Copies of this chain bind each other. A is one copy, B any other.
Amino acid sequence: MGSFRGHALPGTFFLVAGIWWTVKYSIWHATRRNKGIGSTRLASRASQRRLEIIESSVILFFSLVGMLAEQFGSGGPKLQLYDFVEKHWDHLHSWHHATMYLFFGLFATVSLIIHTTEAAPLALDRLMLAIAFFNEGFLFLYHLHGRGMLDVHVHLLLLYAVFGETLVAFLEIFHRGNIILELLRCTLTVVQGTWFWEVGFVLYPPRGPEWDLKDPNNMMFITMCYSWHLAFAMLIVSVLYCIVKSWCCPTGSSCSEEC
């Protein structure tokens, strides 16, 4: 992952996930108001479930791809954990990243089981999501030993979004369907996505000069950038929400049942 592409890829995934979640929750919130008759409700619940299953499958697929890419991509450990010749751990960074993907894969698996079989309580998917985000932040936290000051700083800033999402997903166990929490989670996911791109641009500038990793002014500038990313993510989520809303509920008072 120590490359521009290695940051742009997960960034794109989180960005797409954040945008997709925003659209999904906005539609659900718009149609929820609409107290339709029994059969319509049932139909909409079945279609919701179908959507969840598709979403979980896609996340599971990309988690597997991510794990395989980390393991068997160029410079990956190819499932070898310990280098017995040189007597040291092999490619620990790749293993760390694969472990992060693993937990998102576990989230997707559990979500898939919940929505296909009803075997487990519904709120379990939020707990698994919270754990996946927590694990991501936890590994990042112990990932930064001996790096440059700015390098550490841009990764620590990421943790605000990651642990923020952990907290929000955990709260959703108790407040499922709260649109405020859902949109906040979407916003933080978009922040993660754009911030991964930013980190790529700062640490591995595709062109132009290198950044001075020890300049405190750069740190102050990057911190402010993080606020701007947050504002930008809030803007994207708001605009998406309004578009979905005006599409589903064109007259304002009555929302169409399916949109």
Residue ranges of A at the interface with B (Cβ–Cβ < 8 Å): 29, 88-89, 92, 95-96, 99, 102-103, 106, 110, 118-121, 123-124, 127, 131, 135, 138-139, 142-143, 145-146, 160, 173-175, 179-181, 183-184, 216-221, 223-224, 226-228, 230-231, 234, 238, 241-242, 245, 252
Residues of B within 8 A of A92 (CB): 217, 220-221, 224
Instruction: Kindly provide the distance from the CB of A77 to the nearest chain B CB, expressed in whole angstroms.
Output: 12
Please name the residue on chain B nearest to A130 by beta carbon: B184
Contact B95–A224 (Cβ < 8 Å): yes
9 more CB-based (< 8 A) A-B contacts, given A29-B121, A99-B228? A102-B227, A103-B227, A119-B242, A119-B245, A121-B180, A123-B180, A127-B180, A142-B220, A145-B220
Residues of B within 8 A of A174 (CB): 175
Instruction: Kindly provide the distance from the CB of A24 to the nearest chain B CB, expressed in whole angstroms.
Output: 16
Contact A102–B231 (Cβ < 8 Å): yes
Instruction: Kindly provide the distance from the CB of A13 to the nearest chain B CB, expressed in whole angstroms.
Output: 19
Contact A138–B227 (Cβ < 8 Å): yes
Please name the residue on chain B nearest to A245 by beta carbon: B119
Contact of A180 among B106, B143, B173, B219 (CB under 8 A): B173
Please name the residue on chain B nearest to A121 by beta carbon: B179
Contact A139–B223 (Cβ < 8 Å): yes
Contact A231–B127 (Cβ < 8 Å): no
Contact B103–A231 (Cβ < 8 Å): yes
Residues of B within 8 A of A179 (CB): 121
A217 in contact with B89 given A131-B230, A131-B234, A242-B119 (CB within 8 Å): yes
Contact of A227 among B99, B217, B221 (CB under 8 A): B99
Contact A142–B223 (Cβ < 8 Å): yes
Residues of B within 8 A of A95 (CB): 224
Contact A110–B221 (Cβ < 8 Å): no
Contact of A184 among B99, B127, B135, B245 (CB under 8 A): B127
Residues of B within 8 A of A234 (CB): 106, 131
Contact of A120 among B121, B135, B228, B241 (CB under 8 A): B241
Residues of B within 8 A of A252 (CB): 118
The 6 closest A-B pairs by CB, nearest first: A142-B223, A92-B220, A89-B221, A89-B217, A123-B180, A99-B227
Complex: how many Å from CA A89 to CA B223? 13
Instruction: Kindly provide the distance from the CB of A160 to the nearest chain B CB, expressed in whole angstroms.
Output: 7
A-B contact pairs, 8 of them (CB 8 A): A29-B121, A88-B217, A89-B218, A96-B220, A106-B234, A119-B245, A139-B227, A145-B216
